[in-house]
Amino acid sequence: MRVLILLVTIFCLTSCHPDKNKPVDLEKLRYQSTDASEIYFRNMRRSYYEIEENKEAAIDLYTLSGYDEFDQAYLIPTIAFNWRNDFAAIMLNRSAKLENEENLVMLFENEKGSQKLLLNEGDISTQTTVAVKVYNGILKNDEIFLVLNRQKQALFRDNEEKELFRITIFDFLRFVEMR
């Protein structure tokens, strides 16, 4: 009997915890939220975010509060939620250092080699895809760089900045029920 209770407890603890270390399949990326995911975000995660509301456009923008300390961050992800259409996506806000850069090159390096990604303004689905690719790179422990003035610059200055980015994307994935 004790073994059964132990197994049920272990099952409950492991089944309720979303897989934080599994890369996202970009082919299955979705943007629709549900009532349940909206309630979860509003009740559990919203308090961690700075909120900019635009009632006329029916859009709320959520930026993780910790970015206040990182005024030098190159890219700041913001969850854009259109509550009229139950649509959520990621906007990548560029720092002042990157405002004049039209096409940025991002490098993902690991023991298998390197991969280049062109980072342009793009529409919101393109920005979301790029953000999720960075999220996947973080999960795979890739070193991620921006090429500025022909020199590689680390995208994240420290692990805390990297974690803020990861948390924002993870919250977005929960918002659209992909985690």
Identify the pLDDT of residue 15.
53
Is residue 46 a part of any domain in this protein? Answer: yes
CB hemisphere CA count around 176 (13 angstroms): 23
On whether residue 8 sits in a domain, the answer given is no
- Dist. CA 71–CA 78, nearest whole Å: 15
Residue 149 lies in a domain: yes
Residue 38 lies in a domain: yes
Residue 64 confidence (pLDDT)? 94
Q: Domain count of the chain?
A: 1
Range of the domain at 104: 20-175
* Within-domain flag for 3: no
Predicted TM-score (pTM) of this structure: 0.87
- Does residue 128 lie in a domain region? yes
Q: Is residue 148 part of a domain?
A: yes
Question: DSSP letter at 23?
Answer: P
pLDDT in tens, the chain (179 residues): 666 665 566 655 555 555 667 899 999 999 999 999 999 999 999 999 999 999 999 999 999 998 877 778 899 999 999 999 999 999 999 888 887 777 789 999 999 899 999 887 778 999 999 999 999 999 999 999 999 888 899 999 999 999 999 999 999 999 999 98
Would residue 1 count as lying in a domain? no
Measured distance CA(1)–CA(166) in Å, rounded: 41
Integer Cα distance of 137 and 143 in angstroms: 8
Closest by CA position to 174, among listed 16, 11, 40: 40
